[in-house]
Amino acid sequence: MFKHVDYLQFQARPEKPDAFFAAKLQELIGGQYGEMTVMMQYLWQGWSCRVPGKYKDMIMDIATEEIGHVEMLTTMLARLLEAGPNETTEKAAAANPVLAAVLGGQNPQHAIVAGGGPMPTNSQGVPWNGGYIVASGNLLADFRSNVAAEAQSRLQTSRIYNMTDDTGVKDMLQFNLARDTYHQQQWLLGIEQLLDDGFIDAPIENSNMAEEKAEQRRTFYSFDPESTAGEGRWANGHSLLGEELVYVPDAQPLTDDKPIGPAPDPKLFVTYAGDMGKGTPGTAGGAYASGMKNVAKKVKDALDG
């Protein structure tokens, strides 16, 4: 169960409105790595976590914090949209070339749909969707996803940080940058903890490990004759599992199996060349196949003119 406190975790006070920057800021709300994603991803992982105690509590704590981050960003967005240029275009732009850029670059849904507020979409207007969430129940795999999400999220925040001079906006983003720095580490330290607690014995997902092909577990295949990929750490020395790494230049197929399907069910009218020969009844959806030979003949006559 959740509770709400009617104050922001950290202040969201822009110096002045900026509808154009607001359009960009949407990426941090409803983008692939916006705050909606980490909020929902951590809630989902917390609810799916089967390890009560410090792991589950940690995930639920950060999930709860992230709901508040969406709150901070939506508040910031509404304030950036104050007195947005919702007038008729021509008059406004004629008077002010700066406004012309703003007009062109602002998000029309901010006015039309949201009445001067945030949208649950990215910076191009695409709605956030549940396909962004990662929650497998396997803490190693999910912590890896979380490190990645915080890294991408921080990078985007950092890029957007450089797109404004507003000290109020920058102040809040400095808080967000710091949280992403901490959270990246939180998940990496979480992997350390999983190793310490004996939940995993390697920092990579390795279920059913005894079943996998041993050779392909340590081999880099190159598919370009001029590739220099063999010079990298990934092709030299030992793997994280202690096995010697192998580099295979100009890799060849490991089988003579060709990518072709079996003869199809005639009822599906798939074109094929089976042992009944080409053009056999049922193979290509022809009139002939249906026993309509006279119609087929008419067709041929018609085509022949």
Contact residue for a copy of itself among 15, 22, 30, 275 (CB under 8 A): 30
Looking at residue 123, the DSSP 8-state letter turns out to be: T
Measured from the CB of residue 252, what is the shortest distance to a copy of itself in angstroms?
A: 8
Measured from the CB of residue 38, what is the shortest distance to a copy of itself in angstroms?
A: 14
Nearer to a copy of itself, 36 or 38 (CB): 36
Nearest to 81, CA basis, from 114, 59, 49, 54: 114
Residues 223 and 158: their CA atoms lie apart, in Å, by: 36
**Three-state SS for 227?**
coil
126 — alpha (psi -120 to 50), left (phi > 0) or beta?
A: beta
Is 244 a binding residue for a copy of itself by CB under 8 A? The answer is no
Contact residue for a copy of itself among 35, 38, 42, 122 (CB under 8 A): 122
Is 12 a binding residue for a copy of itself by CB under 8 A? The answer is yes
Measured from the CB of residue 29, what is the shortest distance to a copy of itself in angstroms?
A: 10
- CB neighbours of residue 258 within 10 Å: 6
Residue 220 has phi, psi (to 5 degrees) of -100, 125
Measured from the CB of residue 106, what is the shortest distance to a copy of itself in angstroms?
A: 8
Is 71 a binding residue for a copy of itself by CB under 8 A? The answer is yes
Residues 42 and 230: their CA atoms lie apart, in Å, by: 38
Is 185 a binding residue for a copy of itself by CB under 8 A? The answer is yes
Is 260 a binding residue for a copy of itself by CB under 8 A? The answer is yes
Q: For residue 60, what are its two tokens?
A: 């639920």
- CB neighbours of residue 297 within 10 Å: 12
Contact residue for a copy of itself among 22, 42, 58, 276 (CB under 8 A): 58
Is 167 a binding residue for a copy of itself by CB under 8 A? The answer is no
Residues 130-149 that bind a copy of itself (CB under 8 A): 130-141, 144-145, 147-148
Residue 79 · residue 13 · CB < 8 Å: yes
C-alpha 105: how far from its chain's center? 24
Is 169 a binding residue for a copy of itself by CB under 8 A? The answer is no
Residues 108 and 105: their CA atoms lie apart, in Å, by: 9
Residues 33-52 that bind a copy of itself (CB under 8 A): 36, 40, 43-44, 47-52
Binding mask 284-303 for a copy of itself (x = CB under 8 A): xxxxxxxxx--xx-xxxxxx
Residues in contact with 131: Cβ distance below 8 Å, sequence separation at least 6, in sequence order:
none
Looking at residue 215, the DSSP 8-state letter turns out to be: G
Is 84 a binding residue for a copy of itself by CB under 8 A? The answer is yes
Contact residue for a copy of itself among 15, 35, 198, 276 (CB under 8 A): 198
Measured from the CB of residue 169, what is the shortest distance to a copy of itself in angstroms?
A: 11
